[in-house]
Amino acid sequence: MNTFCPICEQETEINKIIESDEIDIRGEIISVEKEYFHCQKCDEKFENLHPEMDYMDFAYREYRRRKAWLQPEDIKVFRDSLGLTQQQFSDILGIGVATLNRYENGSLQSEAHEQLIRLFVDDPSLILGVLNRKPNLLTKSEQEKLTDYLHQIEKGKSVLVRKTIENLANYSPDIFSGGKTFDFRKLIHVFKFFCYNSRIYKTKLNKLLFYADYLHYRDYGVSITGLRYAHAPFGPVPNNFETWLVASSKWIEEIESEEVYFDENVGETFMSDDPPDMNVFQPSEIKVLQSIKEKFLGFSCREITNYSHDEIGYKNTKDGELISYIYAQDLRV
Ligand SMILES: [Zn+2]
């Protein structure tokens, strides 16, 4: 390919080369593969001023991805789903319309604005409150339409949650569920039992659930929650746990979840300000829950993960496979 070399100022034969470069976005160092031209006459390299990739756009997207922030199209799709113009949506948010327009077109949002927009994305019904406080934002008919829509979302959400949970729990009691029908209410209170006033990593919580259910099966012939557990890279986990968490977002709201950094990874943690209702449990279940809590009290995520890797039931299963409660007899607790 021929082009003009700005260094030796001649029309020359050039090669495209790719070199890694680093862009600093608010303290996050992001690597980008930049395109350069190499001049065969003077052996110098110079930047391609019209690269195929927009490096800043790439870096912003990577920055948002690392922080689990909204991408520009997420904001636009959300606004469109509400049938709002940029002007109307920015009035609801209380930010400038030019700012919102920039965000939808690729500018990097401020952290405060990310949190603000995220609030509404996570719970669109918050808009109802804003519309009540600022009744002149929309015309009467626009307001009615949006209000109807938001009420529908609310209703749809709870139907969806119920259906998802019904589907996930649609298995008969057998050796994979510890001889028990799934008990959603008990799961919630086991969750609260472990997370009440203490911040627990999801990785650790998975193991605590596993040990409590299997220990109760070993000693009393039946599990506590009826959950099925599968072999995952970080140890035994409740089967379809991620889907559970999403479907259970309603009750998860009672249990505060937060992303924290550890071992260079991001981990989700849970904490509940709300105490468990111990009346839902049998005395034997309370005994088992307390002994598991005590046993693993000082264990880090890594320690309990390593510990669970030595369970026979874990060793004898492959990734994704359900772990039979038969293995409870070999449990290392
Ligand atoms: Zn040159």
Give the distance (Å) from ligand 1 centre to CA of residue 213.
Answer: 71
Give the distance (Å) from ligand 1 centre to CA of residue 57.
Answer: 29
Calculate the alpha carbon distances from 110 to 25, 69, 164 in Å: 12, 10, 35
Identify the sign of the CA torsion 216, 221, 224, 225.
positive
Closest by Cα among 262, 218, 223 to 239 = 223
Give the distance (Å) from ligand 1 centre to CA of residue 16.
Answer: 13
Q: What is the 3-state secondary structure (H, E, C) of 254-312?
A: CEEEEEEEECCEEEEEEEECCCCCHHHCCHHHHHHHHHHHHHCCCCCHHHHHHHHHCCH
Give the distance (Å) from ligand 1 centre to CA of residue 47.
Answer: 12
Give the distance (Å) from ligand 1 centre to CA of residue 4.
Answer: 8
Give the distance (Å) from ligand 1 centre to CA of residue 17.
Answer: 14
Q: Can you name the CATH fold of 2-67?
A: Ubiquitin-like (UB roll) (3.10.20)
DSSP code per residue over 3-66: EEETTTTEEEEEEEEEEEEEEEETTEEEEEEEEEEEETTT--EEE-SS-SS-HHHHHHHHHHHH
Give the distance (Å) from ligand 1 centre to CA of residue 249.
Answer: 60
Give the distance (Å) from ligand 1 centre to CA of residue 15.
Answer: 11
Domains of the chain: which residue ranges?
2-67, 72-165, 172-330
Q: What is the pLDDT along the chain (333 residues), one digit of tens a residue?
A: 778 888 898 888 888 899 999 999 999 999 999 999 999 889 998 888 888 889 999 999 999 999 999 999 999 999 998 989 999 999 999 999 999 999 999 999 999 999 999 989 888 888 988 888 888 889 998 998 899 888 877 776 666 666 777 777 778 899 999 999 888 889 889 999 999 988 888 889 999 999 999 999 999 999 999 999 999 988 999 988 777 776 665 566 666 777 666 554 557 788 888 899 899 999 999 999 999 999 999 998 889 999 999 999 999 999 989 999 999 999 999
Give the distance (Å) from ligand 1 centre to CA of residue 20.
Answer: 22
